[in-house]
C-alpha cells in the first residue's frame, strides 16, 4: 500500500511530504560517534532514532544508502577550533597510537549498537580516511573567496558569506546573536572575526595526528568531514541529514555554509534532529556525576541505578517518546519501560495459544482490520513511535480477551493480527525478545522437532510414500536416533 510519509524538516520548521530526489534511491547521512570514550546514552538516542528511519524507508521499498561517519580526529565538544584533540590527549596519557584508541572505542560502539539491535549503516566512513576530500573542500571554499589562510590555518569567512548568503538559517540565529554569544578564546587573534571557524588547523609540534596540505602540516576542522564525506558517498544533493539537536549549531550550520560556499547551493533536502536525553531532569555530563555508559545500564554497575536495564528496555524507553520530544531517564521510568516491553513481548508470544474459530466477533474484526493502517499512519506522521506502541498495547488487550475466550477470532484475522504486530514490534521498531532459552526449554523444543519429523514420516507411510518414510528413518538412524514402530505408535531415543 502506498504510504505518504511526513517528515519534520528542521530547516523549514514544518512537516513535509517525503519526496526523494532520485526515487527509489534515498541518500541519508547521520553524524556518528566521536570515538574517544565508551558509548553512553547520548549515543543511543540518535542511533535508535535514525535506525527507525532506515528500517521504515527500506520497508516502504526505498533503496537506502545510509552513511554514518566515525569522527576519529580533531573533534571537540563545544568549540571545534580550540583546545586539545581528545583522542590525542588520551593516546598521550595511555601511551597508545591514536588509532588504537579510535579502534578500541569504535569496537565498543559497534558492540553496544548491536546489543541495542541498531542495524549497521551502509557505509561507515572515517574522518581520517578522507583527508584528501576535506582538503579539496577547503580549497574550493578558498577559491570561491569564502575563506582565508592565517598563520598556516584556514578559516571560514562568516561575515563575507553572510553578505552573499544568509548564515544561521538552520538554527534561526543571525550573525549579531552569534557574535554576541561567542566566547573569546585563545588563538582567536588568527581569525579576522571571532565567529569564523576553522577549516584547517596548523598542527602544534606536540600534535601526533597531522597531514601535509598546501597550507601547513595539520588537520581538518571538525565540520569539514561530514560535508566532504556526505558529498563523496551521496552526491552534491541528497535527501536526509540527521543528528542530535545539539549538532544544529554550530556543526550543521557550518556544514550548510561550507556546502553553499563550495558548490553554490545546499546539499541537503531534509534536516532531521532528535532531541536530547536528560537524567533525573538534568543534562548529562561528566562533571555532574550523572554520566552513565550503556554498559553500566546493561550491568546496573552505577551508583545512580537501582538495577540493570537490558538493551531492549533502553530501546523501548527511547521509542516510548517521540524523537523530537525530550526523554528523561530515571529508575522509575526505566522500570515502567521494562514492564511495558514484557507485556508487549508476552502478548505476541501468547498469540500462539489462541484458538481461531470460524468467525471473528464484530468488535475483534473491526479492531484487526484497522490496526495495520493505524500503525502506518502513526509512522507516517513523522515517526510517532509512542502512538504505534499504544496501538500494540491495545492489541495485547485484545489478545488477552481472546485467550480468556471472551472474544472470537477467525484464522484470517488471527494471521493478520500476528503479522501486523510482528511487523511493527520486531521489524520496524526493532524490538526483540531477550529471554534466553534455558536447557529445559531447549530440550523441549528439540523433542518437538523430532516428533514433528516423525509425524511427517507417519504421513508419508500413510500415503504409501515409502521412499520418503525410509529416507527419514535412515537419516535419523545415521544421526544416532533409534526409531521403534510399536502398536501404540512410534517411540524414539537417542543413542550416543
Q: Which residues have CB under 8 Å from 381's CB, separation 6+?
A: 6, 15, 387
Please give the residue ranges that form the binding site for Zn ion (CB under 5 A).
Answer: 31, 226
Secondary structure class of 271 (helix, strand, coil): strand
Task: Kindly state the cell numbers that stand for 165.
Answer: 548568503
Q: Which residues have CB under 8 Å from 21's CB, separation 6+?
A: 27, 237, 238, 239, 269
Secondary structure class of 7 (helix, strand, coil): strand
Judge whether 454 and 460 are in contact, CB under 8 Å: no
Residue number, 31 or 371, with CB nearest to Zn ion: 31
Rounded to a whole number of angstroms, the minimum distance from the CB of residue 46 to Zn ion is 11
Nearest to 33 by CA among 15, 46, 14: 46
Three-point CA angle 352, 356, 362, nearest 5°: 120
Whether residue 24 is preceded by a cis peptide bond, meaning omega within 30 degrees of 0, is yes
Rounded to a whole number of angstroms, the minimum distance from the CB of residue 73 to Zn ion is 13
Number of residues assigned to the chain: 496
Residue number, 31 or 60, with CB nearest to Zn ion: 31
> Facing residues of 272 across strands?
242
Nearest to 299 by CA among 309, 291, 289: 309
Q: CA-based diameter of the chain, in Å?
A: 97
Tell me 123's DSSP state.
B
Residue number, 199 or 389, with CB nearest to Zn ion: 199
Residue number, 146 or 222, with CB nearest to Zn ion: 222
Residue number, 226 or 272, with CB nearest to Zn ion: 226
Rounded to a whole number of angstroms, the minimum distance from the CB of residue 54 to Zn ion is 17
Backbone angles phi, psi at 21, to 5 degrees: -65, -35
311-319 and 331-350 helices, crossing angle to 10°: 100
Tell me 351's DSSP state.
G
Residue number, 258 or 380, with CB nearest to Zn ion: 258
Rounded to a whole number of angstroms, the minimum distance from the CB of residue 253 to Zn ion is 11
Residue number, 226 or 344, with CB nearest to Zn ion: 226
Rounded to a whole number of angstroms, the minimum distance from the CB of residue 114 to Zn ion is 22
Rounded to a whole number of angstroms, the minimum distance from the CB of residue 300 to Zn ion is 33
Task: Kindly state the cell numbers that stand for 482.
Answer: 533409534
Kindly calculate the radius of gyration of the chain based on its CA atoms and give it in whole angstroms.
28
Rounded to a whole number of angstroms, the minimum distance from the CB of residue 34 to Zn ion is 10
Rounded to a whole number of angstroms, the minimum distance from the CB of residue 154 to Zn ion is 19
Residue number, 201 or 365, with CB nearest to Zn ion: 201
Rounded to a whole number of angstroms, the minimum distance from the CB of residue 251 to Zn ion is 6
Judge whether 316 and 309 are in contact, CB under 8 Å: no
Judge whether 319 and 385 are in contact, CB under 8 Å: yes
Residue number, 31 or 421, with CB nearest to Zn ion: 31
Backbone angles phi, psi at 18, to 5 degrees: -75, 120
Residue number, 31 or 341, with CB nearest to Zn ion: 31
Rounded to a whole number of angstroms, the minimum distance from the CB of residue 334 to Zn ion is 29
Amino acid at each position: 500500500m502506498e504510504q505518504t510519509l511526513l517528515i519534520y524538516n528542521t530547516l523549514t520548521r514544518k512537516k513535509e511530504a517525503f519526496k526523494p530526489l532520485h526515487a527509489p534511491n534515498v541518500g541519508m547521512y547521520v553524524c556518528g560517534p566521536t570515538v574517544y570514550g565508551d558509548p553512553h546514552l547520548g549515543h543511543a538516542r540518535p542511533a535508535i532514532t535514525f535506525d527507525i528511519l532506515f528500517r521504515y524507508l527500506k520497508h516502504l521499498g526505498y533503496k537506502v544508502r545510509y552513511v554514518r561517519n566515525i569522527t576519529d580526529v580533531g573533534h571537540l565538544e563545544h568549540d571545534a577550533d580550540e583546545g586539545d584533540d581528545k583522542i590525542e590527549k588520551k593516546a598521550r596519557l595511555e601511551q597508545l597510537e591514536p588509532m588504537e584508541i579510535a579502534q578500541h572505542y569504535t569496537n565498543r560502539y559497534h558492540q553496544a549498537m548491536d546489543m541495542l539491535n541498531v542495524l549497521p549503516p551502509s557505509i561507515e566512513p572515517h574522518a581520517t580516511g578522507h583527508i584528501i576530500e576535506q582538503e579539496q573542500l577547503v580549497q574550493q571554499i578558498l577559491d570561491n573567496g569564502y575563506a582565508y589562510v592565517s598563520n598556516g590555518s584556514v578559516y571560514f569567512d562568516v561575515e563575507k558569506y553572510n553578505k552573499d548568503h544568509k548564515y544561521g538559517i538552520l538554527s534561526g540565529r543571525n550573525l549579531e546573536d552569534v557574535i554576541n554569544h561567542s566566547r573569546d578564546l585563545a588563538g582567536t587573534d588568527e581569525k579576522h572575526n571571532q565567529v569564523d571557524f576553522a577549516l584547517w588547523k596548523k598542527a602544534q609540534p606536540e600534535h601526533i595526528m597531522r597531514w601535509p596540505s598546501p597550507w601547513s602540516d595539520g588537520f581538518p576542522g571538525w565540520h569539514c568531514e561530514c560535508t566532504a564525506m556526505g558529498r563523496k558517498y551521496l552526491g552534491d544533493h541528497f535527501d536526509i541529514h540527521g543528528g542530535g539537536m545539539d549538532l544544529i549549531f554550530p556543526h550543521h550550520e557550518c556544514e550548510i555554509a561550507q556546502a553553499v560556499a563550495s558548490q553554490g547551493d545546499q546539499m541537503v533536502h531534509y534536516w532531521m534532529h532528535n532531541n536530547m536525553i536528560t537524567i533525573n531532569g538534568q543534562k548529562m555530563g561528566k562533571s555532574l556525576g550523572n554520566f552513565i555508559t550503556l554498559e553500566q545500564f546493561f550491568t546496573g554497575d552505577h551508583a545512580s541505578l537501582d538495577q540493570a536495564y537490558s538493551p531492549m528496555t533502553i530501546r523501548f524507553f527511547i521509542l516510548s517518546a517521540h524523537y523530537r520530544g525530550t526523554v528523561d531517564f530515571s529508575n522509575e521510568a526505566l522500570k515502567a519501560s521494562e514492564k511495558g516491553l514484557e507485556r508487549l513481548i508476552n502478548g505476541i508470544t501468547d498469540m500462539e495459544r489462541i484458538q481461531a474459530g470460524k468467525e471473528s466477533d464484530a468488535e475483534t474484526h473491526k479492531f484487526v482490520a484497522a490496526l495495520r493502517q493505524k500503525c502506518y499512519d502513526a509512522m507516517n506522521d513523522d515517526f510517532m513511535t509512542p502512538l504505534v506502541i499504544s496501538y500494540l498495547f491495545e492489541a495485547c488487550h485484545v489478545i488477552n480477551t481472546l485467550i480468556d475466550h471472551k472474544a472470537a477470532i477467525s484464522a484470517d484475522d488471527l494471521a493478520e493480527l500476528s503479522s501486523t504486530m510482528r511487523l511493527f514490534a520486531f521489524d520496524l521498531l526493532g524490538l526483540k525478545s531477550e529471554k534466553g532459552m534455558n536447557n529445559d526449554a531447549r530440550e523441549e523444543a528439540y523433542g518437538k522437532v523430532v516428533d514433528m519429523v516423525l509425524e511427517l514420516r507417519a504421513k508419508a507411510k500413510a500415503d504409501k510414500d515409502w521412499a520418503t518414510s525410509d529416507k527419514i528413518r535412515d537419516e535419523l538412524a545415521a544421526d544416532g536416533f533409534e526409531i521403534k514402530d510399536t502398536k501404540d505408535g512410534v517411540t524414539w531415543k537417542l543413542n550416543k
